[in-house]
Amino acid sequence: MPSDNNETLAIENTINPHLWVIKYADYLYNYAITRVNDEEQARDLIQDTFLAALNSMNKFEGKCSERTWLTSILKNKVIDVYRKNSVAFIKNKVIDQEEEEHDYFNHEYGNWNIEYRPKEFGIEQSDALENKEFQHILKLCMKKLPSLWLAVFTMKHMDDETTEKICKELKVSSSNFWVVIHRAKVNLRACLQKNWIQT
């Protein structure tokens, strides 16, 4: 007879699609929505993930949990979305964003323009990480970022991907990568300041 321990392990890493929706749909939805910021698209991604998973069930080796396995399928689908968005972005939007960025800094010297100067949020020292209201505004501000910026930003800061991988997946040059990282942060910070200090 197998020991209790082995038995538990075996049960944990089996696959049971009949329970997927109950067990993982909300989890996967939250994963998707924090990365694509579009409810409709997030729902499509969950559906595609389940269907793709059904079709590759035989590849599930039980080396990781069912949830980890499903998440990795979803993760690749999110990157596909990023890739599609970035192609469209590079074609259409780069110029608009260039224009907008000039507002933050003085064109000639690079110093902050007065209306955009960072001010203290008043939560720098305290438990900002736990501040739900602030987190909520952060999410809203991320939603406003252009899609390529959000893709680069979340792959780096949320998923801790290497710079090389992000550049390769999204077809961004290394110097553009740093420009996007910088602009995304300057925009995001300005949005937080505007919406946090005013509330």
Partner 1 sequence: MNELKKIAYNCRKATFLIEKKQIGTITLREKLELKIHLAGCSICKTFQKQSIIINSMVKNLFNSSDNSVLKLDEQFKKTLHERIEKYFKNN
Binding site for partner 1 (CB under 8 A): 17-18, 20-22, 25-27, 29-31, 33-34, 43, 46-47, 50-51, 54, 104-106, 109-112, 117-121, 123-124, 128-129, 132, 134-135, 138-139, 142, 153-154, 156-158, 160, 163, 178, 181-182, 185-186, 188-189, 192
- The answer to whether 171 and 87 are in contact (CB under 8 A) is yes
User: Residue-wise over 165-183: b if at least 16 C-beta within 10 A, else e?
Assistant: ebbebbebeeebbebbbeb
Query: Smaller CB distance to partner 1: residue 1 or 129?
Result: 129
Query: Smaller CB distance to partner 1: residue 88 or 123?
Result: 123
- Residue 86 CB, nearest distance to partner 1 (Å)? 19
Q: Three-state DSSP class for 145?
A: coil
- Residue 125 CB, nearest distance to partner 1 (Å)? 9
- Residue 106 CB, nearest distance to partner 1 (Å)? 8
Q: Which of 155, 154, 152 is nearest to 175 (CA)?
A: 152
Query: Smaller CB distance to partner 1: residue 87 or 112?
Result: 112
Q: How far apart are the C-alpha atoms of 169 and 171, rounded to whole Å?
A: 6
Query: Smaller CB distance to partner 1: residue 46 or 172?
Result: 46
Query: Smaller CB distance to partner 1: residue 165 or 182?
Result: 182
Chain centre to alpha carbon of residue 71: 13
- Residue 29 CB, nearest distance to partner 1 (Å)? 5
Residue 65, C-beta contacts closer than 8 angstroms, at least 6 positions apart: 12, 13
- Residue 90 CB, nearest distance to partner 1 (Å)? 21
DSSP 63: S
